[in-house]
Chains A and B, each alone.
Chain A
Amino acid sequence: MTDELYASVHVSEFPAQALLRLRPDLKGKPVVVLHGEAIKEVVCSMNQHARRRGASLGMTRLDAEGIAELVLLSRSPQGEEVARTVLFECAATFSPRIEDVSHDTSCAFVLDIAGTERLFGPPMQFAERLRSAMENVGFHSSIAVSTNFEATRLKARAVRGIVVIPHGDEAAALASLPVAELPLDEKRLETLTIWGIRTLGELAALPETELVTRLGQDACKWRDLAKGTAAHTFQPIEPALSLQEFCAFETPVVRMDSLLFIGARMIDCLVTRAAGHALSLASLTVMMKLEGSRIHHGKIRPALPSTNRKFLLKLLQLEIAAHPPPAAVISLTLTAEAGLNSKVQLGLFAPQTPEPSRLDVTLARLKAIVGDDRVGSPELDDTHLPGSFHMTDFTVEGKVAGSKTSRVRMALRRMRPPEHVRVDLHATKPAYFRNREDNFGVIAAYGPWKTAGCWWSTEGWDVEEWDVLAVNRNGLTVACLLAHDRTHNEWRIEAHYD
C-alpha cells in the first residue's frame, strides 16, 4: 500500500472558459476563441455548442464567420493569466502542494492530497468537493484521483467528470487512452501508429525488452506511463519573486521630499530583497495614485542593473523632478525588474570613461531639462529625406577620434525648426523672399535639387531645394538653403551656408 495520493484537475478549452466565466450572457451560445493577429486569426478554443455547429480548431476567421450564430471572441492572455490564478487559488484551498501540468490550451494542476482524508473525506468526496469548488469559480473541470501522479494527470485529461482509480488498477484505467497522450516525438508516434499501437493498453502489452531494443530506453518510460507505474518527482509551484513595494499615504502628499523619503525606504527594501536572490534592480516602475482617481507613471532604467541605493534614489528624484505628478499623491507603488549583477570590464589602454552611474545621473538631468527624445547620440537614417536622423542612447564606445584631415568644406548651419518664409517666384525660380522681419532679393539661385520618396505611405515627401544668395535693403548678404515642400506648398529656410 502506498502513502501517495494525487488529484488532478483538468480544465479543457481554457481560453474559451477563461472568457466565458465572466460572460453569463453567452451561456448556451456557440462560442469560438480566435488567436493570432488580425487577418490571420484562427480558432484556438471553443465550447461544445460551437463544436456541434461544425467549428473546428485551426479554422480561419473567414471560415468561422460562415457558421451561423457563432460568437467570435478574441483570445485574452491577460484574462487567462487571471483565470489561472483564480484556479490555482481555488486548488490551493485543498492542498498546499500543487504542480502545474498545463498543456497547450488546457489548464491543469495536480494536487498532492496525501493525508487530506480527514479534512475533505475519502477520494471520491474530495474530488466532488474540488470539482464543485471549480464550478463555483466558473470552470467546468474533470478530476482524477489515484496513487500515481502520471496516471492521475493522464486520466484527468481524458475523462469528463470524476474518476477515482483504485490502487493497482492504474493500467486498466489508462488502457483505452490514445498513445498520443504520451510525450512522444513525431517520429516515435508515427512508428507506433504504423505498428497499429493506438492505445496505452496496447503499448503496455508489448514485451519490454523487444520494445527497448527497437525504440531505445525511452520506451521503458512510456511503457511505465502506459501502465500507470511511472515515477515522478513532485515539483510544487513556488510563488514567483515579485519585487513590488506599495505605500498608501494617510493624507495626500504634495511635497517631493515626503515622496522621496518614502521612496528611499521602498528602494531599500527592493534592493535588499533582490540582493537576497543575488540580483540587482534593472528598472524601476513608479506608479502614483493621485487625487481624482488618476494614475501617474514613471520609469527609471539605469544603464546597468544596480544595487546602489543612493544612485537609484537620485534617479528617482530626477524622474519625479522631470515628470512631477500633476496632483497630490495618495499612494506610491514601486515595481522593480530584477537583473543580473553586472561588472564592467575596463581595458588597460581604453580611454577613461565616466562611471556608468554618474553618466546615468547626468543624462537623467539633461532629460529632465530638455525632454527624453532630445538626449542621446544622433544617427543618420538610411533615407534620401534631407536631414533625417534619429536619437540613440548615448554610449561611450571607447574609440579614439580619427585624425583624418578632411578637405575644407563649406559648412551648413541647419535651422531647427526651419523658418517659414514667403517666396516670390520669377520663371519658377525664387526672386524674393521675406522672413519675419526682412525682405531679401535673390541675387543667384541654384537648383532646384529635387528629392521625393516614401510615396507608398502617408509619410511621403516631395521637396525642392534652392541654394540662394540674397541681399536685403541694408546690404546684408545671406547664403541660404530654401526648401519648397511641394506636398504642402510651403517654403522655408532650412539652413544657412557659413
Chain B
Amino acid sequence: MTESTDYVELHARSAFSFLDGASQPEALIERAIELEMPALALTDRNGLYGAARFHSAAKNCVSKANVQSQIKAHIGAEIAISSFGNKLQPPEWLPHHHPNEPSRITLLCATQAGYQNLCQLITRFKMRESTKAEGAATLRDLEEFSHGLICLTGGDEGPLAAALAHQGQGDARKFVDRLASIFGRGNLFIELQRHQLREEECRNQSLLELASYLHLPVIATNGVRYATEKDREILDVFTSIRHHTTLDQAGRLLSHNSARSLRTAREMSELFRDIPEAIANTRIVSNRLQFKLNDLGYKFPHYPVPENETMDSFLERRVDDGVRKRYGSPDKRHLLDKARAQVRHELTLIKKLGFAGYFLIVWEIIRYCQQNGFLVQGRGSAANSAVCYALEITAVDPVGMELLFERFLSENRGEWPDIDLDLPSGDQREQVIQHLYERYGSLGAAMTANVISYRGRSAAREVGKALGFDEDQLARLSGLVGHWEWRGENDTMARHFEQAGFDVRHPRIAHYLDLCMRMQNLPRHLGQHSGGMVICAGMLNHVVPIERASMPGRTVVQWDKEDCADLGLIKVDLLGLGMMAALKDSLELIPRHYGKQVDLAALPEDPVVYDTLCKADTVGMFQVESRAQMASIPHNAPKHFYDLVVQVAIIRPGPIVGKMMHPYMRRRQKKEEVTYPHPSLEPVLKRTLGVPLFQEQLLRMAMTVASFSGAEAEELRRAVGMRRSMQRMKDLEGRLRSGMTGNGIGPEAQDNIVQAISSFAMYGFPESHAASFALIAYASAYLKVHYLAAFTCGLLNNQPMGFYSPAVLIKDAVRHGLRVRPIDVQRSQWLCSLEEEPDRSRSLRIGMNYAKGLRQTSADAILAARNRDRVFASVDDLASRVPELNRKELVLLARIGALNSLDKVEHRRDALWQVEEAGRPVGPLLHNAQSASNNATAPMPLKRMTTDERLAADYAGTGLTTSPHPMAYQRAVLRSQGILSAEDLSRATSNRFVRIAGCVIARQRPGTAKGFVFLSLEDETGIANVIITPDTFERERIIVTRSRFLKIEGPLQNQDGVIHVKAHRITPLDITNADIRSHDFH
C-alpha cells in the first residue's frame, strides 16, 4: 500500500515561469496540502521569481480544517543550458511551430550554499545579456556554481530528451557524464516523467538503460505546470499568448493532455510501479534538501567607516552632530534635551538590532543629494524617528511634533526599517540611482521588481486574441470594461460581454468569460518597481537573482517589493516626486528674478498662505489641489501647520470610508462637541479633536489605556489592520482589555475604546507621512503665494504632475496676476522661463517644449543660432540660419504665433504664407533670385485668423492658450442668457437655482462616492464645481463624458464657502472648436 507521503513532487513550475506555468505558487502549495504531500519543489523557468511567495505560502498555509499544515517548500529552478543544444521539438515531418530554445535542466537547492550558487548562476547568465532576456547558462557557469545543488536531467525540455531523439544514446551518455562530473554522481538523478504519451515511454526506456549503464539513480517527477487538471486550459491560453498565435493555430505547441497537474502519491506510484525506486528517490532527495528560504544568509549592508570606528559609533557621532544642528537654534533649543534623550533611546535600539549600516547608507544618499544640490526628503514612518531627522533624512521634527518612534521601529516587530525618499522626478532621481549602482556595484544594488499581473482589461484582451477574436471585437470589448473607479452593481464582466454583443451562452464565449475570470492576478511578466532599490553591498546576487531591466543601465531583482520585505531584504524607495522637481526649479529661479533666497527648511508660518488655503485657492499646490481637497479645506480652515497635516491625511479613501472625516470637520467647525472615548485619552486625541485619525494615535491609545509597550501597540495595529488571524486578534483584545481593567477603566469605556481602535485601524494614516507631505504642501503654497511666476514656471517645466493640466495652471496663474507670454522664437527657451517686464515685474514665457511636434534638437538649434549671432530678421532668415527646422516645424511655429515677432510678419497667417515658401529650400543657383522675389511687396492673400481659429491653433499646437479663456469671448452672450460665471457663484445665495457654463477640466467618479460624478468647469473667472447624481449621469452619460463645454442648471449649494451646483439639466455648449482636454480620473 502506498503511503500518501511516499512521493514528493520535485519539479513544478508556477505561473512565475511567465506564460509557461498556470498556477500561483500559493495554489500549488494548497493543492499539495490537499494531496497530503510532505514537500513540494518549485522550479520556475530561469528564475526564482515565485520562490518568495511559494515559501510564504508554505509557511502560512492552513488546511481546510483550519489547522496549520506542515509542508516543506523546496527551492529550485529550471536552468537553460546553451551547451547542450536545443530542447526537443517534434520531428521534421510533423507540422509544428516550435521555436528553438535551449534545453533546460532542473536544479534543486540542497543547502544555503546551493541556494546562493543558484542565485549567482542565474544572475551570471542573465547579466551576460545586454538587455532583458531569458539567457542561458554555459557549462563553465555550472562548474563554478554547482556546489550544494542537486541536478535532475529534466523532462521533455531536458537535454537528454533531445539528444536521444536526434543522436541516440551516444550524445545522451556524454551529456550525463558531463553533468555527473560537474555536480558529482551523488547529486545527479536521471529524471523520468510519465504523462501517458508513447514517445515519452520510449524515451523512458532509453533513460533507464542509460541509468543502468552509468549506475545513476533515477527519479520520478511529473513536470508539473499547474495545480489541477482544469488549469491546463490556462496553460494552453498562455502558450498561445507566448507564441503570439491563437488556440486554433497553436497546434502541437499546446499540451497533449491534462496530465501535468499535481498528482497523488498513489497515482504516481501506480504510474511507476515498474520502477519503485524512482518514487522512493523523491523522498530521499527531499530529505536531502535542507535549505529553506528563511536561511537566505542575507546580512545587513556594511557601511565603510574609519578604522577606529564601528558603524554604531560612527552613526552616533553623525546623529550627535545632527541634533546640535537641528535643535541648536534659539527657537528649538528648548527641545534639545528631549531630542538628545530620544536619539539615545533610538540609537540603543538601532545598535541592538544592528541597523546602523542601513541608516548610514541612507545618510550617504542624503549627503550625495545635498552635495549635488538635489532636493530630497524622507517620507513615511521614518519621519517618526529623531535619528532620521538628525541625519537630515526627514524634515519633520518628531520631537517637536511628538511623533511616535515605535511606529517606525520596534524591537519585537521582526521587520527591517523602511525609509522612502522623495526626490525630484527625472534626471536627478536617475543620477541618485546610478550613484548607488556605482557605489555598491552592479551586484550590490538593484531595483525591486514589479510583477505585472492580468487584470480585467488585459485578460479580456489576451484571452480574446488567443480565442481568435479579431482586433475590432477586442477593442470594443476592452473599451467596454469599466475603467471609472466607481463600479456599479451591473459592472460585471458578463455584462460587459453582453454589451459588446457577445452571446455568453455560446461555448467559446462561455470559455472566454471563464478564462478571463480565472486569469485574474496571474503574473504576466516582470517589470521594475518605480523606485524601490535593494542594497546589499557586493553580495546581492547571493541572495536573489539579478537580471537586466528593459531600461538601459538598470538591473532588477527577481522579487517584488513585498517579497523583499517578507524575506527581510533592506530596501530604500527612491521615489520621483514631480513637486520636488518643481520646488527645486522654483528655488533656482527665485534668487535670479526676485533677488531673494528661500530656504525650504526655514519657511515662516505665514497667515497669508493659510488664508489662501482656507479659500481653497489651491490649484497647483501639492496634495491639496484636488477637487475633494478643495471641497473640504474651507471646513477645516487651516491656521497652523498641524491643521495642514490633518488636511493632507483626511481626504483619503481610508478616512472617508472609515467615517472619520465628517466628525472631525464638524468638531473643527464647532458644530459638534469634542469628546473622548475616555478622559485618559485626551492628551492623545486632543490634536485631532477627539477623533482618532492617525496610526500613531492608535499606538498611543493602547500604550495609555492598557499600558502596552510600543512594540505591543504596533503589533496590535498590524493585527487589526491586516485582519489575518482571528486568534491573534482575540489574544490582543484580551490583553488590551485586561490592561485597561488594570488601569481602572470601566467596561463601557473599554467597549468604546476597543470600538474606536477597531474602526479606524484599517484606515488610519501615518501621522509622520502626513507631516512629511504637509511640509511639501506648505512649501508649494508658500511659493505660489509669494513667488507665483517662479512657482508656475517650475510646475510647467515638470509636467505631467498633479491634478490640473498646464492650460488650467496657466489660467489660474493669470487670474492671480501673472502675465503669461506665448512661445516666441526670438525669446523662448526650450523650457518655460521668466522675463522682466518694462515695469520690472516678472512675466512667464512659455517654452518651446510646449510646441507639440517641435524636436528638442531643432529648438536647441534655434537657441544656438539666436545666441551665437543675433535675433532673426525674418522668416527666411530663420529658415536659412536654422536648417534643422523642417517645414512641418516651421508651420507649427507659425501656426501657434511663435513667429509673430519676426520682421515683416503681421499675423500668424502671414507667417504661415511665408514659411511655406521658406520651408522649400532652393538650390544655390536660384537662391539669390528667390531672395529678390521675397523682397517684392506683394499683398498678403491670407486673412488674419479669427479668435476661434487662434484658440484652435493654440490648443492644437501647445495644449494651452495665453489669450483670454475661450469662455471670455462668449461672456456677453452668456450673461444675456442668465448664465453666471464661476466668480458670480460666490455671491449667489445658497439653494438658488442657477445656470453656469464652462469648459470641463476634470471629471471624477471616485470609488467612495457611491456613483456620484464630480465635474470641474472652468471659465475666465475661476473654477466651478458640479455634482451629478448617478441617475442624472446615467441619463446624460454621453453628454457628460464627451462634451468639452457644458451648461449646467441646478440649485447652488454654498456651505461655508464650499460651493457646488447640483446638476439637474446638462446641455452641451458649442463654444469653440479648440481641442481642449479634460483630465478624467478612472
Q: Which residues of A contact B (CB under 8 A)?
A: 38-40, 61-62, 191, 194-197, 205-207, 210, 213-215, 379-384, 447-453, 455-458, 464
Contact = CB atoms under 8 A, between A and B. Distances in A.
B914 to A, nearest CB: 9
Contacts of B949: 196
Nearest to B930: A213
Given A455-B511, A456-B511, 20 more contacts: A39-B500, A39-B501, A191-B916, A194-B895, A195-B942, A196-B945, A210-B941, A213-B920, A214-B916, A214-B920, A380-B93, A380-B94, A381-B95, A383-B251, A384-B252, A449-B197, A450-B195, A452-B256, A452-B257, A457-B507
B2 to A, nearest CB: 16
B467 interface: yes
Contacts of A447: 196
Contacts of A448: 196
Interface in B946-999: 946, 949, 953
A464 B257 CA distance: 10
A426 to B, nearest CB: 15
Contacts of B917: 210, 213-214
Nearest to A202: B943
A252 to B, nearest CB: 47
B912 A195 contact: yes
Which 7 A-B residue pairs are closest in the complex by CB-CB distance?
A382-B251, A214-B916, A39-B501, A450-B196, A382-B95, A450-B257, A40-B472
Contacts of A464: 196
Contacts of A38: 501
Given A62-B499, A215-B916, A456 B508 contact: yes
B938 interface: yes
A380 B95 contact: yes
B140 interface: no
A451 B252 contact: no
B913 interface: yes
Nearest to B473: A39
22 contacts: A40-B473, A195-B912, A214-B917, A214-B920, A215-B916, A380-B95, A382-B249, A382-B252, A384-B251, A384-B252, A448-B196, A450-B257, A450-B259, A452-B258, A453-B254, A453-B255, A453-B256, A455-B233, A455-B511, A456-B247, A456-B508, A457-B508
B96 interface: yes
Interface string B76-96: 000000000000000001111
Interface centre among A61, A195, A382, A457 (most CB of B within 10 A): A382
Contacts of A206: 941
Given A382-B251, A383-B251, A194 B891 contact: yes
Contacts of A451: 256-257
Contacts of B916: 191, 213-215
Interface of B: 93-97, 195-198, 233, 236, 247-249, 251-252, 254-259, 467, 472-473, 476, 499-502, 507-508, 511, 891, 895, 909, 912-913, 916-917, 920, 938, 941-943, 945-946, 949, 953
A383 B252 contact: yes
Contact of B96 (A191, A207, A213, A382): A382
B498 to A, nearest CB: 11
A487 to B, nearest CB: 13
Nearest to A457: B508
A46 B481 CA distance: 30
A52 to B, nearest CB: 18
Contacts of B249: 382
Contacts of B94: 380, 382
A195 B909 contact: yes
Contacts of A452: 256-258
Contacts of B252: 382-384
Chief secondary structure at chain A's binding surface: mixed
Contact of A194 (B476, B499, B507, B912): B912
Contacts of B943: 196
Contacts of A381: 95, 251
B51 to A, nearest CB: 31
A40 B473 CA distance: 7
Contacts of A455: 233, 236, 511
A38 B500 CA distance: 11
Contacts of A207: 938, 941
Given A213-B917, A382-B95, A456-B511, A39 B941 contact: no
A38 B469 CA distance: 12
Contacts of A384: 251-252, 254, 256
A64 to B, nearest CB: 13
A210 B502 CA distance: 57
B254 A449 contact: no
B1035 to A, nearest CB: 12
A216 B254 CA distance: 58
Contact of B913 (A195, A379, A382, A453): A195
Contacts of B507: 456-458
A197 B94 CA distance: 64
Contacts of B467: 456
Contacts of B247: 456
B832 to A, nearest CB: 25
Nearest to A214: B916
Contacts of A380: 93-95
A23 B1074 CA distance: 43
Given A381-B251, A452-B257, A214 B499 contact: no
A196 B473 contact: no
Contacts of B256: 384, 450-453
A448 to B, nearest CB: 6
A205 B916 CA distance: 18
Contacts of B508: 456-457
A196 B909 contact: yes
Contacts of A194: 891, 895, 912, 953
B957 to A, nearest CB: 10
A395 to B, nearest CB: 17
A210 B251 contact: no
Contacts of A61: 501
Contacts of B941: 205-207, 210
Most chain B CB neighbours (cut-off 10 Å) among A195, A213, A453: A453
Nearest to B248: A457
Nearest to A206: B941
A64 B674 CA distance: 58
A464 B258 CA distance: 12
A206 B476 CA distance: 45
Contacts of A197: 942
Chain A CB within 10 A, most for which of B94, B895, B913, B941: B941
Contacts of A456: 233, 236, 247, 467, 507-508, 511
A380 B258 CA distance: 23
A447 B499 CA distance: 48
Contacts of B891: 191, 194
Contacts of B945: 196
Contact of B198 (A39, A214, A449, A458): A449
A384 B255 CA distance: 8
A279 to B, nearest CB: 36
A447 B94 CA distance: 23
Most buried by B among A39, A381, A448: A39
A271 to B, nearest CB: 41
A244 to B, nearest CB: 36
A449 B259 CA distance: 11
Contacts of A458: 507
B502 to A, nearest CB: 8
A207 to B, nearest CB: 6
A380 B252 CA distance: 12
B834 to A, nearest CB: 31
A379 B95 CA distance: 9
A356 B95 CA distance: 29
Given A194-B953, A214-B917, A447-B196, A39 B476 contact: yes
Nearest to B942: A195
Nearest to B510: A456
A40 B920 CA distance: 44
